[in-house]
């Protein structure tokens, strides 16, 4: 946001870092943004800014967003508080009471490549989770055209350690992660599972249940997702590639790779791009889709900026024209 030509950062809050310069906590922002953190105060907030990004722990955004919206400001929420349409489902998966179910219908799911028209009219956007972003973009064209069996979809995603957040945890300690690759929350228990299912079901216009397994890999950032699906009817890799190119035509941040090329997390690191590659296993009649995103950018903050651009009528790529950091 600091490099966005139409944005001025007026208010940055983090109660635990009150009075600290942002660049002291994040030295790479020295000279880019040197403002200081403040403790959150509603009256101060709405007097200073028009649009708010909420990057709060799950369960906290529902305490803050309602008052900001009531004041007539726009909100882009990066938590999971308003992504699920059923508060009961939220409570099962996030183990928290949903205290503002009345706002769920007002929140537009902020996946621009699918819901751009709704985002244009929104004052409240719920930014997608990182895993759902990669998974939904990988499967949307197939489901929209009815080219795959909606039963038996398997999704495996590998994420960099930054996806676990800043808080130190034994399982993300360098000595445990370095040189190792592990699955976690195995058996359909990751909290992003119902989010993926909800929006894939919306695209397919029928209920979808998936098998989703996340993995932790020893890199800082990036998500590589592989989705395995059963084809319905006859198809070919060339037909599938043409479908994806057509489906995402004009979508600035989704690139369909040529035949025989497959996404790499390094290629999208630091960028808001999603790279997608496809294969068709004729022997098993399976369509395999692979996507790569940066979990911190297209999977979080970059997508939030993309949503702001749509809400404000700016070009979607404004402030986001950054290629991946390769090598």
Q: Cβ(62)–Cβ(99) under 8 Å?
A: yes
Q: Cβ(179)–Cβ(123) under 8 Å?
A: no
Q: Cβ(221)–Cβ(269) under 8 Å?
A: yes
Phi then psi dihedrals of residue 134, to 5 deg: -65, -40
Q: Cβ(291)–Cβ(275) under 8 Å?
A: yes
Give dist(CA 211, CA 51) in Å, integer: 37
For the chain, how far is it from start to end, CA to CA, in angstroms? 25
Active site residue 73: no
**From 73, 130, 175, 274, active-site residue:** 130
Give dist(CA 28, CA 10) in Å, integer: 20
Question: Which is nearest to 271 in space by CA: 249, 307, 296?
Answer: 296
Burial class (CB in 10 A: 0-12, 13-18, 19+), 238: exposed
Question: Which is nearest to 276 in space by CA: 253, 307, 295?
Answer: 253
Strand pairing category for 223-230 and 153-159:
antiparallel
**Which residues are identified as catalytic?**
130
């Amino acid at each position: 946001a600091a490099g966005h030509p139409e944005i001025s950062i007026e208010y940055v809050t983090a109660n635990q870092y009150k009075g600290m310069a942002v660049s002291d906590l994040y030295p790479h922002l020295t000279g880019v943004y040197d403002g200081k953190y403040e403790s959150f105060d509603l009256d101060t907030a709405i007097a200073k800014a028009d649009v708010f990004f909420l990057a709060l722990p799950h369960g906290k955004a529902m305490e803050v967003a309602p008052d900001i919206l009531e004041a007539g400001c726009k909100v882009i929420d990066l938590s999971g508080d308003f992504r699920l349409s059923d508060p009961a489902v939220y409570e099962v998966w996030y183990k928290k009471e949903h205290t503002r179910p009345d706002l769920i219908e007002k929140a537009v799911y902020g996946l621009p490549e699918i819901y751009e028209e709704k985002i244009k009219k929104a004052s409240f956007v719920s930014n997608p989770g990182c895993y759902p972003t990669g998974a939904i973009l990988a499967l949307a064209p197939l489901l929209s055209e009815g080219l795959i069996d909606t039963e038996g979809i398997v999704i495996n995603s590998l994420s960099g350690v930054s996806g676990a957040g800043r808080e130190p945890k034994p399982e993300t300690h360098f000595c445990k992660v370095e040189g190792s690759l592990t699955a976690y929350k195995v058996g359909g228990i990751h909290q992003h599972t119902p989010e993926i299912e909800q929006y894939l079901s919306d695209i397919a216009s029928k209920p979808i249940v998936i098998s989703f397994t996340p993995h932790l890999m020893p890199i800082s950032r990036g998500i590589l997702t592989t989705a395995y699906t059963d084809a319905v009817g006859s198809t070919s890799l060339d037909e599938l590639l043409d479908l994806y190119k057509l489906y995402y035509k004009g979508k600035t941040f989704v690139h369909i790779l040529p035949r025989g090329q497959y996404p790499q997390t390094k290629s999208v690191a630091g960028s808001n791009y999603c790279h997608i590659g496809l294969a068709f296993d004729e022997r098993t009649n399976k369509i395999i889709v692979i996507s790569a995103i940066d979990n911190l950018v297209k999977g979080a903050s970059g997508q939030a900026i993309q949503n702001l651009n749509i809400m404000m009528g700016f070009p979607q790529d404004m402030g986001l024209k950054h290629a991946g950091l390769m090598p």
